[in-house]
Amino acid sequence: MIKIEINKDKITIKGHADYKELGKDIVCASVSSIVITSINGILRIDSEAIDYNEDDGIYIEVKKQNDIVDKLITNMIELLEELEKQYPKYVNIRRC
């Protein structure tokens, strides 16, 4: 299961969906696409708005908040929540 933890300024994504075998897992691919596209969009707008790393999961820390960054983060979270609704056995989101 992919576990997503959302704090005020931090988002952590860990685990694997195990929906299908490696290379055919549409749930993992969807989470990765949503998150990496969001990260890239934010960094293109303001390279100092977030810090992130991909060590044993994906960790995002929001360093600067503004209207555009907030909207991109909100959009990412809403897309992940939609995925959680469609695949509740494979994606779990927890707000702290």
Residue spans per domain, the chain: 2-95
In angstroms, the CA 71 to CA 74 distance is 5
Q: What's 47's DSSP letter?
A: T
From residue 52, give the alpha-carbon distance in Å to each of 6, 24, 40, 59, 85: 14, 26, 11, 5, 26
pTM > 0.85: yes
Taking only Cα atoms into account, the Rg of the chain, rounded to an integer number of angstroms, comes to 13
Class of domain 2-95: alpha beta
Q: Report the C-alpha gap between 53 and 37 in whole angstroms.
A: 14
Query: What is the pLDDT, as a whole number, of residue 21?
Result: 83
Q: How high is the pLDDT of residue 92?
A: 98
Per-residue pLDDT tens digits for 10-58: 999 999 999 998 788 999 999 999 999 999 999 999 999 999 999 999 9
Higher pLDDT, 55 or 84: 84
pLDDT of residue 23: 80
Which residues are CB-neighbours of 65 under 8 A, at least 6 positions away?
none
pLDDT of residue 22: 78
Whole-number pLDDT of residue 42: 97
